[in-house]
Structure 1
Amino acid sequence: MILLTGATGTVGGLTARLLRGTEPVRLLTRDPGRAANLAGPQAEVVGGDFEDPAGLRRALAGVRSALLVTVDPLTHAHDENFLTAARAAGVRHVVKVTTLSVTEPEATDLVTEWHRENERLLRTSGLTWTLLRPRAFMSNTLGWARAIREDGEVRAPHGGTATAAVDPSDIAEVAVRALTDPAEHAGRTHALTGPESVTPVRQTEILSELLRRPLTFVELTEDQVLQGLLRRYPAPVARALVESAARGRAGTKGRVEPTVTDLLGRPARSYRAWAAEHLAAFRA
């Protein structure tokens, strides 16, 4: 049995779809109704919360491998509770999604430090582990969709800063490999990027070409970005995200890693390929 957390999120949901019908899977989510479309003959959806240790132990019963995705940078309790429950349940292998920024000494923002500590918790847990360290998700640009549909604009900071963003479906494919073949991936860290480094301005051009309509890139100031983030996140998290984005101007996020190709035997998917697949979200 494989257990997936974050089944209603990006990587967890894609991983669930890839595993569907291949072997027994249990999907852990706070809202089982949102994951109902992922249920099936070999896919069980269970309700659970990282703040409920007893519920985690029940969900992990009979599980051999688990995908761990946590999202609250203001606490390490979610990872601690999950790993404690996994040990008690006899789970053998945990695949954890963090971020490639943990490898950069100059990255000291709250979110990156949170990921570093979560990695340490897993490495010292006594469980076998695999760390997936993606660069920014290509799907983050779905946040532009409304402004593109309504105004023909992309509003973002640092338009000339290139990032080797990765298609989440590539992350999910690597996750499946690690979950189903723990012996091959135990104790390994996988740096996951796209096949090229692309700026927001170039992403805007690609979307314009695919949509066959003109789009305008509007450069936001850091303060404008911060004000927008404060409407969605607690202040410490919003400030950390702004700090992380600004750090990319030094070129640290543009490095392309060969890991996806090495593990999957094919090139990493390009931003153009991702955008073409999700074009409906951007259409007026």
Structure 2
Amino acid sequence: MILVTGATGTIGSQVARRLAAKHPLRLMTRHPERLGDACADAEIIQADYSDPPSLRPALRGVRAVFLVTSNPLADDDGPFVHAARAAGVRHLVKLSAAAVADEQANDLITSWQRRNEQIVRSSGLHWTLLRPRSFMSNALSWAHSIRSKGVVRALHGASLNACVDPRDVADVAVRALCDEEPSGLAHLLTGPAALSPITQTDALSQILGRPLTFEELDVAQARRQLRRQQPHAVAEALLHSAQRQHAGAKREVTHTVEKLLGRPAGSFQSWVSDHAYRFADRDDAIAQSQH
């Protein structure tokens, strides 16, 4: 049995879909109603990291776990890893972040991920760490302004990030969960090129077939935007991360995806082409999604 946590999220949902028809699969979620019927072959169990007793039935009989936690203001990994060890889980595949390997990254979110990695490393279980750069799907945060105004707004328009296709991250996770790979591996996952918000805007414009304008936010504007969506501490961590990107800390391209999967990492252009309907007007989106 394989357990996937975070099954309603960007990576967890992709991992679940890849495993559902091929392996005994259990999905752990706080909100089973959000799963829909995409994983009809999977067992679904409602559980919460903050409720340790709920973790025991989720982990019963499980061989390998895909572990995703998302709240940097909570200690979710510790109780879960303790419960996994008690349940006899053999392998933890942990979704982490590329920034943990950067000594200059000391923001709240990166520090939290480092602590999580240490919990996994010291668990006594076999483990694999996935350290992706930013997801290409983060461009969906621009979808509303693209639809309504033909505008992309971001901080530091020329800064580079070797962003990665979430589907590649999911494929690497499935490989780790299903194969008997050596324990103690950390995979830094990037896309095939380092891109800036300006070059992403150009790619979106070309593929969507409409003119788009890029507008650079200053730090105060970006802070106000983030504070509308995130707690203060998280917003400040994201601004710190953006500053490191501006300084060039996220431009390194690795070939790990290709080495692990035997094919090139997916490009941003390919990701946009496959998700163009997400940036279209509602009626156009419905029509495109049906083709």
The TM-score by the shorter chain falls in which range? over 0.9
Task: Report the RMSD for the aligned CA atoms in angstroms.
Answer: 0.8
2:288 equivalent in structure 1:
none
Q: Match of 1:141, as an amino acid?
A: A
2:195 equivalent in structure 1:
198
Q: Match of 1:132, as an amino acid?
A: L
Q: Match of 1:17, as an amino acid?
A: R
Deviations 1:202-221 (A, max 9, x none): 00000100111100000011
Instruction: Say which SS state the counterpart of residue 36 (structure 1) adopts.
Output: coil
1:207 equivalent in structure 2:
204
Residue pair 1:39, 1:45 contacting (<8 A) in 2 also: no
Of the candidates 183, 186, 195, which is equivalent to residue 183 of structure 2?
Answer: 186
Q: Hey, what's the Cα distance between the residues in 1 that align with 2:30 and 2:219? A: 34
1:97 equivalent in structure 2:
95
Residue pair 1:3, 1:65 contacting (<8 A) in 2 also: yes
1:68 equivalent in structure 2:
67
Q: Hey, what's the Cα distance between the residues in 1 that align with 2:39 and 2:261? A: 26
Pairwise mapping of residues 132-211 of structure 1 onto structure 2 (< 5 A)?
A: 132-181=130-179, 183-211=180-208
Residue pair 2:6, 2:28 contacting (<8 A) in 1 also: yes
Q: Hey, what's the Cα distance between the residues in 2 that align with 1:37 and 1:169? A: 19
1:225 aligns with 2:230: no
Q: Hey, what's the Cα distance between the residues in 1 that align with 2:45 and 2:57? A: 10
2:266 equivalent in structure 1:
269
Instruction: Say which SS state the counterpart of residue 55 (structure 2) adopts.
Output: helix
1:251 aligns with 2:248: yes
Q: What's the TM-score once normalised by structure 1's chain length? A: 0.97
Instruction: Say which SS state the counterpart of residue 190 (structure 1) adopts.
Output: strand
Q: Hey, what's the Cα distance between the residues in 1 that align with 2:101 and 2:35? A: 33
Cα shift at 1:232:
1.5
1:15 aligns with 2:11: no
Q: Match of 1:134, as an amino acid?
A: P
Instruction: Say which SS state the counterpart of residue 140 (structure 1) adopts.
Output: helix
Could you tell me the percent identity over the aligned residues?
52
Residue pair 1:67, 1:95 contacting (<8 A) in 2 also: yes
2:284 equivalent in structure 1:
none
Q: Hey, what's the Cα distance between the residues in 2 that align with 1:102 and 1:176? A: 22
Instruction: Say which SS state the counterpart of residue 189 (structure 1) adopts.
Output: strand
1:28 equivalent in structure 2:
28
Unaligned runs of 5+ in 1: none
Q: Hey, what's the Cα distance between the residues in 2 that align with 1:36 and 1:244? A: 34
Deviations 1:113-163 (A, max 9, x none): 000010001100111100000000000010000000000000111110011
Cα shift at 1:38:
3.0
Q: Hey, what's the Cα distance between the residues in 2 that align with 1:55 and 1:20? A: 22
Instruction: Say which SS state the counterpart of residue 127 (structure 2) adopts.
Output: strand
Instruction: Say which SS state the counterpart of residue 162 (structure 1) adopts.
Output: coil
Instruction: Say which SS state the counterpart of residue 37 (structure 1) adopts.
Output: coil
Unaligned runs of 5+ in 2: 282-291
Q: Match of 2:39, as an amino acid?
A: A
Q: Hey, what's the Cα distance between the residues in 1 that align with 2:192 and 2:11? A: 19
Q: Match of 2:270, as an amino acid?
A: A
Structure 1 segments (4+ residues) deviating >2 Å = 38-41
Q: Hey, what's the Cα distance between the residues in 2 that align with 1:185 and 1:249? A: 36
Cα shift at 1:40:
2.2
Bigger drift between 31-40 and 267-276 goes to 31-40
Deviations 1:36-94 (A, max 9, x none): 323323x1111110011111011000000000000011122x10111011011100000
Q: What's the TM-score once normalised by structure 2's chain length? A: 0.95
Deviations 1:177-231 (A, max 9, x none): 00011x3142100000000011110000001001111000000111111111111
Count residues in correspondence. Answer: 281
1:81 equivalent in structure 2:
79
Instruction: Say which SS state the counterpart of residue 132 (structure 1) adopts.
Output: strand
1:109 aligns with 2:107: yes
